A = this chain, B = another copy of it.
Amino acid sequence: MLSFENDYNVGAHPAILRRLSETNFDPQPGYGFDRYCESAKEKIRRELGDPAAEIFFLSGGTQTNALAISAMLRPFEGVLCAATGHIASHEAGAIEYTGHKVLPLPQKQGKVDPQDVSDYLENFYADENRDHTVFPGLLYLSEPTEYGTIYSKTELQKLYEIANRFSVRVYIDGARLGYGLCCEESDLTMQELAQCCDAFYIGGTKVGALLGEALVFPRGNAPERFFTLIKQHGALLSKGRVLGIQFDTLFTDGLYYEISRGAIERAKELRAILHEKGCRFYLETPTNQQFILLEDEEYERLSKSVALSFWEKPDRSHTVVRFAVSWATTREDLEALRAIL
């Protein structure tokens, strides 16, 4: 069936599969001490212009979020987050499972406003009872957001500056980072993003890998004994090479950006088709996800020939669905969609 369900509905970019085969019989140490991991880390450090950056390869987004956030927080701290942030809404309480509260902030199309962050923190420190409450220790952002929107360089800088003022660190969830950086509306580079946070991850799973996320602590401030914490959270792969080989491939000859730009191209074509067919945008975004409002019957009918993602029910007779494209979406897929719509 034709699928615009998400950006993880097929396998890996062929270059990755090829590289897995080529390296298959090269015996290497386990747990990420192999030379592919080393090489991948080196390439990412160069990309960031940050030789001190510490990098860890993990398997998935929720795992990376829970591990990084819990390791960065002190026991009396929680994490600030847009009410629609992934950790607040779609990770089955993974952050709370680590013992920390998610402190929801107002959101606009998935983004938090610097002013809201600043207000929250000022009110917090003006509250005489604050010692009876959870301290804000970290600000979680996603780039692009769960709604496909993006932060500008100025916004990120402002957020980082506000956070720093209150000794709050900043963590950026980059599950779809490539799509955020490579869209036309973005004025950010990965290096600039790294300068506006204390940790972020470069999403692999949704940008061409079989699985894998590269967690980066810029300027070398990884939490103490983070390797042991990875093991403790059940997130250490014996064959760490599986992740290293993939990121080494993605950061060779700019493949990560090439993959991302391809998806952004397809996304523009998708938007054109959706407009042409008179679809009602619930949210039109610069990245690879588009949100469309359908009547429930339309949704049911369409679901028979195209795999889509249920997003939410704004009322009893409508459904918001997500159309997602990825590096693997083809012109043929788009033509087939046009024909169906």
Contacts and interface: CB of A to CB of B under 8 A. Distances in A.
A28 B123 CA distance: 27
A337 to B, nearest CB: 13
B242 A129 contact: no
Interface string A237-276: 1110110000000000000000000000000000000000
Given A126-B313, A132-B91, A313-B127, A30 B11 contact: no
A307 B29 contact: yes
A14 interface: yes
B9 A17 contact: no
B92 A232 contact: yes
Given A92-B134, A93-B78, A228-B135, A29 B5 contact: yes
Contacts of A78: 93, 96
A235 interface: yes
Interface stretch (A38-46, A59-67, A151-159): A59-67
Contact of A235 (B64, B134, B234): B234
Interface in A14-33: 14, 17, 20-21, 23-30
Given A75-B229, A75-B232, A239 B210 contact: yes
A224 B73 CA distance: 12
Contact of A132 (B9, B14, B65, B231): B231
Nearest to A34: B9
Nearest to A239: B8
Nearest to A205: B238
Contact of A27 (B3, B100, B211): B3
14 contacts: A6-B238, A8-B239, A21-B21, A60-B234, A60-B236, A62-B234, A62-B236, A78-B93, A91-B231, A92-B231, A135-B225, A135-B228, A205-B238, A210-B242
